[in-house]
Amino acid sequence: MSRFQGFGAVAWREVRTVVRTRSYLLLSVGLLAVFAGTLRAGGGIEGGYIPTAVDLLLPLELLVPLVAVALGYRAFGGENDDRPVLLSYPVSKGSLVAGVYVGRLIGLAGIIGGPLLAVGAAVSRIGGAESRVFATHQGADSPVLFVRFLALTVCFGAVVLAMAMAASVLVRTSRAALAAGLAVLVVVVAGGDLLAFLGLTADAIGEDVLGTVLGASPNSAYRGLVLESVVGVATDQGGAIDVSAAVAGLAGWLVVSLGAVVVGIDREPFAGIRTGIGELTGRVAGALDR
């Protein structure tokens, strides 16, 4: 059996699932509406690509994890869970995980990338004179920087998608999967920053290592990389984060999460952890119901 047999078919099924799910299309339209509202209020679109990226950065820190969790939390649950049948075909666990992940990542790139490309196109028409040229030197606004911003945003989504999928395989019921997905959302959106803030106020983290510590939090790493490699390039205002720590942090979350999915897809490893998480998320879901 080829190690990657079935990968393409599984990935293509995921892409088609995303395309055929109307709520994902609505999500993309909703993102465009939020972007339009944010840019109208912030006025960044008239300033060019960099001001636009700055205006969208904060909303994206919340919206990208939201989209990633929406795509990932039931990747292996409910009607999407045909693992026992799929594994009776010559499909390895690695191919199955890679296929589902890549297929949903393509969907995520479309849902987030589509509205961002529309924003980029709007900037090229509405933005200042500088926004209509491809800058070849630092200190100038450029669509290249906006493409870099878009790529970093999709990378951030890719990491959170892997985390949501890991949560999806650790629980069994749809209700528990939703609670686990929400837990991922809270951890990604607020957890890292909160821990860093608490560490800073308790003097457990010195200011000299703050940039490195922030790299361990997915959304801090994303924010730092955007400020460093998009905004900082044009404004010379970088230095918010240790770039290598941020890249290592995002890569670490991605590898660990996908590793957890590959091991967890077997259903039996993590049985104890899964029971504990199932009970915990069940209680959270119960509390949410009340």
Determine the length of the chain.
290
From the CB of 116, what's the least distance to another protein, in Å?
26
Instruction: Count Cβ atoms below 10 Å from residue 112 Cβ, excluding itself.
Output: 23
Going residue by residue from 208 to 247, which x/- string records binding to another protein, judged by CB under 8 A? ----------------------------------------
Can you tell me which of 85, 129, 202, 287 binds another protein, judged by CB under 8 A? Answer: 85
Decide if 240 contacts 228 (C-beta within 8 A).
Answer: yes
- The set of residues, in sequence order, having a beta carbon less than 8 Å from that of 290 and lying 6+ positions away, is none
Nearest residue to 243 (alpha-carbon basis) of 255, 234, 254, 232? 232
Can you tell me which of 3, 23, 41, 88 binds another protein, judged by CB under 8 A? Answer: 88
Q: Pick the closer one to another protein by CB: 138 or 275.
A: 275
Options 89-97, 120-128, 149-157, 253-261: segment touching another protein (CB under 8 A): 89-97
Q: Pick the closer one to another protein by CB: 7 or 146.
A: 7
Task: Report 19-48 residues binding another protein (CB under 8 A).
Answer: 20-21
Nearest residue to 179 (alpha-carbon basis) of 48, 81, 25, 283? 283
CA 154-158-160 angle, to 5 degrees, is 115
**First-residue to last-residue Cα distance in the chain:** 50
Nearest residue to 177 (alpha-carbon basis) of 186, 187, 188, 165? 165
From the CB of 91, what's the least distance to another protein, in Å?
6
Q: Does 273 bind another protein (CB under 8 A)?
A: no
Can you tell me which of 37, 78, 206, 239 binds another protein, judged by CB under 8 A? Answer: 78
| Residue ranges that bind another protein, judged by CB under 8 A | 1, 5-6, 9, 13, 16-17, 20-21, 78-91, 267-268
